[in-house]
Amino acid sequence: GAVVSQHPSRVICKSGTSVKIECRSLDFQATTMFWYRQFPKQSLMLMATSNEGSKATYEQGVEKDKFLINHASLTLSTLTVTSAHPEDSSFYICSACTSRRGGETQYFGPGTRLLVL
Amino acid sequence: DAKTTQPTSMDCAEGRAANLPCNHSTISGNEYVYWYRQIHSQGPQYIIHGLKNNETNEMASLIITEDRKSSTLILPHATLRDTAVYYCIVNDYKLSFGAGTTVTVRA
């Protein structure tokens, strides 16, 4: 159990276009989902916390107007990278949170690799 | 703020137990210790978590010291597929990923 999917797994786009990434919890409901970004040879960095039915909370330094997050249901959160530029090229990973044995455990998706040309 | 300290890297032999240490001396009473691993180019994989007691599941065992200031993740029989970066995280709702321990399992 606790499977999280992401779509697409890989995307290449032109500079200035927008890209939408979907994150789904397949076998559980998640009130909270998280979005991370990982650059080569670096660790994961939290971008934002996505709560179902409310506005996302963004980490310091993450532009909310550039990275639009929508959490429309208990199993789906989307991240839209607007007006993408080459510096937005990265590995984007989502996680969905559920309670397991007393802790709030995050289960991660397989990631989406974005390349902006 | 780094809440955990882990060795940068470690090697282990295939078939042997791998013991991964983690220090979390500033852990508070209601914080859990979580372990994840990330295999190259994949999303992190949940391994195990615990609060006070030792825990075991199909993947690993987690040994937490009585004062909760450190813990050890044990992979009982390491395989080549266990080669990954292992992260020890003290969970205060958000996960803060440090550099982790790069574990290389050698044949």
Q: What is the mean pLDDT of each run of 10 residues along chain A (117 residues)?
A: 94 97 95 95 94 91 95 93 97 92 88 98
pLDDT of residue B92: 67
107 residues of chain B, pLDDT tens digit each? 558 999 999 999 999 999 999 999 999 888 999 999 999 889 999 999 999 999 999 999 999 999 999 999 999 999 999 999 999 999 767 888 999 999 999 99
Q: How far apart are CA B39 and CA B33, in angstroms?
A: 20
Q: Which of A101, A103, A109 shows the shortest C-beta gap to B43?
A: A109
Using the beta-carbon criterion (under 8 Å), do A43 and B100 form an inter-chain contact? Answer: yes
**Touching check for A104 and chain B: CB below 8 Å?**
yes
What DSSP designation does B78 have?
Answer: -
Give contacts of B49 with chain A, Cβ < 8 Å: 100-101, 103, 105
Give, in degrees to the nearest 5, the angle at Cα B6 between B76 and B82: 35
Q: Which of chain A's residues have a Cβ under 8 Å away from the Cβ of B38? A: 44
Q: Which residue, among A7, A82, A96, A92, has the nearest Cα to A44 in the 3D structure? A: A92
Interface of B with A in 12-41 (CB under 8 A): 32, 34, 36, 38, 41
Nearest-neighbour CA in chain B from A63: distance (Å)? 19
